[in-house]
Amino acid sequence: MTNFNRSTLPDSVRSNGATPNPWWANAVVYQIYPRSFQDSNGDGIGDLKGITSRLDYLADLGVDVLWLSPVYKSPQDDNGYDISDYQDIDPLFGTLEDMDELLAEAHKRGLKIVMDLVVNHTSDEHAWFQASRDKNDPHADWYWWRPAKPGHEPGAPGAEPNQWGSYFGGSAWEYDPKRGEYFFHQYSKKQPDLNWENPEVRKAVYKMMNWWMDRGIDGFRMDVITQISKTVDKNGRLPGEDGSEIADLPVGEEGYSSPFPFCSNGPRLDEFLAEMRREVFEGREGYINVGEAPGVTPDRNEFITDPAHKELDMLFLFDHVGIDQEGSKWNTVPFEVKNLRASLAAQQEAVRNAGWASLFFCNHDQPRVVSRWGNDSDRGSRELSAKAFGMLLHMHRGTPYIYEGEELGMTNAHFTKLEQYRDLEALNGYRQRVEEAKCQSSESMMAALALIGRDNARTPMQWDASKYAGFTAPDAPVEPWISVNPNHVEINAAEEFDDPESVYTFYKKLIAMRHNSATIAAGEWHLLAADDEQVYAFTRVDGDDTILVAVNLTDRSAALPSDVAELLSDGVNESQVLLSTYDAMHSVKSIAHGELARWEGVVIQL
């Protein structure tokens, strides 16, 4: 088990309800998107050796766990989330030996490695799927195969088993001439859904997971794991299928109905997750398992992450990152503090008595928070708003996740042309909505892509001001797989590393506070100023220790909410200011005037 250079959370402070407290109760996780982190061989794509070369940077930052987006063998249709061999490394990223070296070097530095696991679906090039194309093969029922709708020519338009659409655009059914049937895919047509109803599928998945755990990894982050259980009628038919007892939803503006309500948080989810726990994790120590949880509410999160139920340690919920979307993902609406507060408060309240929260704003599927909800128009605004959102997130109760470059205040890509994008979801979404369904204008769709498109998070890590931002050598024979953000000249790790006022230094302080304060890591969370339009405030309490957090999440000054002002009625001195997005003196003066400056956040010892 990896040893950490940080204090252990005392059992006198309750975390998720387990006794003793789990090792990760005051940990911080850092997500690496391997193809964009560090290229070691000049081919324009990041790799495992590149990650190993940057471990000292990550250890200095102070994080505890590194989560790697998929590095398994893959056709890379969805950047590795389409896996063709779970037990091999894609040559783009290196070899199994490179993975072993990364594990060993990370563990030397007290860093754990968590691998991204995608088992709701595989690649259509996986051996399991290729075998399942034969109806007489033992793998025939490992995926969701269905015949054409009765009375229709197989493969012809309208012959699909039901009207479900893929989240990546187009039908969720793909016809396979070899088998003469359709297979179901919630995502890309090269990502067929596994049939978890089949116990042989589950056994194969658990065997593979044990193989990795035995190899020395420290756990899994499981992609869309809450979609492994589908809703079917008593005869195994999906909603909307011919003869099904379950009605489908109406068709939407893109010409399809949504499978989401029937494929998320399904009826056998708890059973499958508990079985996974027994078959893979029971009897092991020092691991962490995290599930990406489409369709899961805060209340369900409490149940699944309650250690008494022996399912998962924590989940990623998505209600808070949908607050600026209405209907379609691509129909964006303005950010409002009250909406973010309502979502995060619901998540915090749900795990007050048991279970645990994952804290994140950014990841490989989300844009950069400083561009999405902050202000990246100039250096001052960018740095202040990056610190404000960082403070807000890390002062909540739960486990914070930092996405590569978030600690530098990296921004969206600000692409202006469709050809600059690489993401399958973005390109398919544009074709589906603008060119085929004609339900959104080109201008509106391009604006939405620029704000919330996934490629905003996938531009190369900005290490220095050189030609390719230090991601690959300036004289590399191949350009990076996606354009480097031009602002890397100003925003980069080399520039920020030794700057005491930088976003990077601010994040180091946030991480250290969680490591060293039981109150911040796991103390009670109490909301203040529930209706304020600008300030998000709360307290963290452990016995007699109370910490106040108040953050102005707008670009203009804000009056202190009355209940915050009441807590501070005796005044505040600089020694009480544990952290400020400005400095202690500035925040003391602001509070004396009954206000917070734009993007001013402050953590105060009461």
Active site amino acids: 223, 292
Closest of 111, 99, 125 to residue 29, by C-alpha: 111
Q: What is the 3-state secondary structure (H, E, C) of 260-292?
A: HHHHCCCCCHHHHHHHHHHHHHCCCCCCEEEEE
CA distance 544 to 299: 29
Give the CA count within 13 Å in the CB-facing half-sphere of 533: 5
- The span from the CA of 390 to the CA of 61, in Å, is 14
Decide if 548 contacts 564 (C-beta within 8 A): yes
CB count, 10 Å around CB of 136? 5
- Cα dihedral 176, 182, 185, 188 sign: positive
Per-residue tokens: 457: 């998070």
Considering only CA atoms, which of 357, 164, 335, 139 is closest in space to residue 264?
Answer: 164
DSSP 103-137: HHHHHHTT-EEEEEE--SB--TTSHHHHHHTSTTS
Closest CA to 399 of 525, 548, 521: 521
Three-state SS annotation for 59-79: HHHCCCEEEECCCEECCCCCC
Give CA 425 to chain center in angstroms: 16
With beta carbons less than 8 A apart as the criterion, state whether 246 and 231 touch. yes
